[in-house]
Amino acid sequence: MDTTSYLLQSAFPVIWILVPAVGAYLKARRADTPAAKLEIWQRWWGIGAMGIGSLWMTVAFLVFPDVMAEAIGFPRTPFLFEIAFANLGLAIMGFRAASAGTRERLTIGLGAGMFLWGAVVGHVYQWFANGDHAPGNTGGVLVTDILIPAVMIALAVRARRLAPAPTAHLV
């Protein structure tokens, strides 16, 4: 594989964070309150980064398993099918985040983090223990696997801090 092809394949996953970030930034510039801006960011991030990005991974692992196996530096095994459906779960959670409340968005971010941060540990292990430098193991996938849940969590925490404090009802 030539250097340009490697770099393109390695960097491709970053599109799932760049497009939602640019879209949210452009859309949020017109919002009039910090809460409205934050809501825009949470929806773009849930749908774009987590939802569409994970749905893309689902389709890629199901429809092109040989390509994906080569991209991650693994042989084709039932593991690829499992990864496809784990990503389908993330996609559903991402789409749900678009209309979810703050607590649910936080939970979605934490759930995604458990899978994706565990995947980062696996990628780094394969990189150093087995020399797996495949573009789907050591490139943009590390960035997206770290940032997608981290940003989802950070946005939910920020939304929680911006929300008005609940008032106590005296009986």
| 75 inside domain | yes
User: Is residue 118 domain-resident?
Assistant: yes
169, part of any domain = no
Q: Is residue 168 part of a domain?
A: no
Does 137 reside within a domain? yes
Kindly state the average pLDDT of the residues 14-38.
96
Please count the structural domains in the chain: 1
Q: 171 lies in a domain?
A: no
Contact (Cβ atoms closer than 8 angstroms) between residue 112 and residue 50: yes
**Considering the domain boundaries, does residue 28 fall inside one?**
yes
Can you give the residue range of the structural domain that contains 158?
3-162
Largest CA distance in the chain: 72
**The model scores a pTM over 0.85:** yes
Q: How confident is the model at residue 170 (pLDDT cuts 50, 70, 90)?
A: low
pLDDT digits (tens, 9 = 90+) for 77-125: 999 999 999 999 999 999 999 999 999 999 999 999 999 999 999 999 9
